[in-house]
Amino acid sequence: MSMLEVKLWVDPASGLVDEKVRISVEGLSPHEPVTVKAAVEESRMRFCAYGWFTSTGRGQVDLTSQASIHGTYTGVDPMGLFWSMRPEPLQKEHLRLLKKDVTTPLVVTVVVLKGHLDWGKLFDPSPKPLAELKVYRWYKDKSVRRERVRQGNVQGALFTPSGPGPFPGIIDLFSGGTFEHRAALLASHGYCVLALELYNYDDNVTSFFHINSNILNESMAWFGQLPTVLPAGFGIIATSLSGFFAAEITRLSPMVKALVLVNGLTFYKHPSAIPEDCKTDRQASTYSIENAKPTPHGFDAREVHKVLDSSFVKVWEGAASVLYIRGQDDRSLNINISQRFFQQVPEEHKHRFQLVSYPGAGHLIEPPYSPVSTSSHNKTMDMVLHWGGEPKSHHLAQEDSWRRILEFFSEKLTGGTLNKNKSSKL
């Protein structure tokens, strides 16, 4: 059968990364075994996924209704070729698929190959495909404007939706470097989002442990007065170590109306971080890097922090509602810490706090359909960390938590009026 007779369809062929796609194949022989493979190259890193299928009696394969019987994922899952991606052979160990330039798409090449091929036979050389198609996956909708921000201590990237505004605002915080992918995607759903750089500036802080509170105060003041941001208050989303700064901002500022923590720290890590108004009843946690345990996937850092009840930030002193996303297979932060934090919340404030805990999910819970990164190099600790996460369970956590995050911000910042089902055909 010639390649021209086999047709591969992907719908949409261009869209946001959190949109599901339909992949189907026509023109095969009845009951023909084929391998469907998806590959992407980003920042010189190559990732790949594949599944085995058998065509119907009419020579068709539809990934939305037919099961992969073998591959990087199994079962019926239209997005299996995206979330199950893993580094190709000869790639470095401990890679994390991360989009640095959100103004360009992830370009995923989907191919149909004759027969059921094992992982090792997909490369060097790659078999000639029966059909091939490129899929463009965007974090930033084409209508969203990205601006580089350098205003005193405020540095990062501002993402603004199209239209006159003002829009509900969100500040996005990460630790360990500069990340814009989540901010761009949130802006694509109708928010004005500041991806704030906390350190690693050209002319500013170079260590996460020497962040000046002026950076946070100036950032809130600058962001809150933007004409494109609704004046009634904004939200914050933070992952990992940056969760502490988000928690402290939320405690102090009435402008913060909604806080999302994704496996975020909620305790004081260093005595210098404890503000004057808390020095009488707060105590910093202790940090012992020697308690990190080596594993084949990097260092397990769950026991590096010793957290006392008096170490927790009193987030409830602020006015915000709080959504905490937790992975039960987190190998970087002991999940018992988040449980103890919620026990500290006074009864009269518990209605503003919700904890969503996902079995089998690791530390880096990203927007949906991102491949699970079980380990990568962490700049803050300067070591390879084991993040944890079983791929299928982690994928389900990412899909469900993203839905919850969008609904949470919509409810708390707009009263639920923001379009929750925004879709983009780019």
Mean pLDDT of the chain: 92
Q: Which of 142, 110, 139, 138 is nearest to 10 (CA)?
A: 110
Question: At residue 272, does pLDDT exceed 90?
Answer: no
- 52, 70 contact by CB (below 8 A): yes
Q: Quick one: pLDDT band at residue 199, thresholds 50, 70, 90? A: low
More confident position, 147 or 275 = 147
Closest CA to 52 of 68, 31, 74: 68
CATH of domain 3-138: 2.60.40.2240
- The pLDDT of residue 66: 98
- pLDDT tens profile 225-239: 999 999 999 999 999
Name the pairing type of β-strands 256-262 and 321-327.
parallel
Question: Does residue 354 or residue 206 have the better pLDDT?
Answer: 354
DSSP string, 129-198: PSEEEEEEEESS-TT-EEEEEEETTEEEEEEE-SSS--B-EEEEE-SSS---HHHHHHHTTT-EEEEE--
For residue 3, the model assigns a pLDDT of: 45
Q: Is 289 exposed, middle or buried (0-12, 13-18, 19+ CB in 10 A)?
A: exposed
Contact 156/202 with Cβ under 8 angstroms? Answer: no
DSSP-derived secondary structure letter, 324: E
Report d(CA 243, CA 175) in Å as an integer. 9
Summarised one tens digit per residue, pLDDT across range 11-62 is 999 999 999 999 999 999 999 999 999 999 998 999 999 999 999 999 999 9
Q: Which of the four pLDDT bands, split at 50, 70 and 90, describes residue 127?
A: very high
Phi, psi of 342 (to 5 degrees): -65, -30
Overall average pLDDT of the 318-322 stretch: 97
User: Is residue 330 annotated as a catalytic residue, yes or no?
Assistant: yes
For residue 40, which phi and psi values (nearest 5 degrees)? Answer: -140, 145
Which amino acid makes up residue 383? M
Residues with Cβ within 8 Å of 168's Cβ and at least 6 positions away in sequence, in order, are: 190, 191, 192, 229, 230, 234, 235, 409, 410, 413, 414, 418
Averaged pLDDT, 61-80: 98
Residue 422 pLDDT > 70 = no
What local confidence, expressed as pLDDT, does residue 212 receive? 59
Split at pLDDT 50, 70, 90, the class of 287 is confident
* C-alpha–C-alpha distance, residues 260 and 29, integer Å: 50
pLDDT grade for 334, boundaries at 50, 70 and 90: very high
Is 189 designated active site?
Answer: no
Query: What pLDDT shows up at residue 419?
Result: 58
Q: Looking at residue 20, what DSSP letter applies?
A: -
Lowest mean pLDDT among 188-197, 275-284, 339-348, 352-361: 275-284
Q: What is the pLDDT of residue 152?
A: 84
Residues above pLDDT 90, as percent of the chain? 80
pLDDT for the residue 271:
84
Q: Per-residue confidence at 209, pLDDT binned at 50, 70, 90?
A: low
Rounded distance, CA 119 to CA 282, Å?
Answer: 53
Q: Is 377 a catalytic residue?
A: no
Angle between helices 213-224 and 242-252 (to 10 degrees): 60
What's the pLDDT score for residue 418? 79
Separation CA 270–CA 311 (nearest Å) = 10
Distance CA 226, CA 81 (A): 40
The span from the CA of 4 to the CA of 16, in Å, is 29
CB under 8 Å to 381, separation ≥6 — which residues? 289, 292, 299, 301
In whole angstroms, give the CA distance from residue 251 to residue 232. 17
pLDDT at 256 over 50: yes
Question: Residue 273: pLDDT band by 50, 70, 90 thresholds?
Answer: confident
pLDDT at 356: 98
Is the pLDDT confidence value at 423 over 80?
Answer: no
Question: Which one is catalytic: 305, 363, 386, 394?
Answer: 363
Q: Decide if pLDDT at 202 tops 70.
A: no
For residue 211, pLDDT over 70 is answered with no
- List every span in the chain annotated with CATH 2.60.40.2240: 3-138
Query: For the residues 198-225, what does the mean pLDDT come to?
Result: 69
Residue 352 has a pLDDT of 98
Q: Which CATH class is domain 145-414?
A: alpha beta
Q: Which of 219, 240, 285, 410 is catalytic?
A: 240
Catalytic one of 330, 375, 410, 424: 330
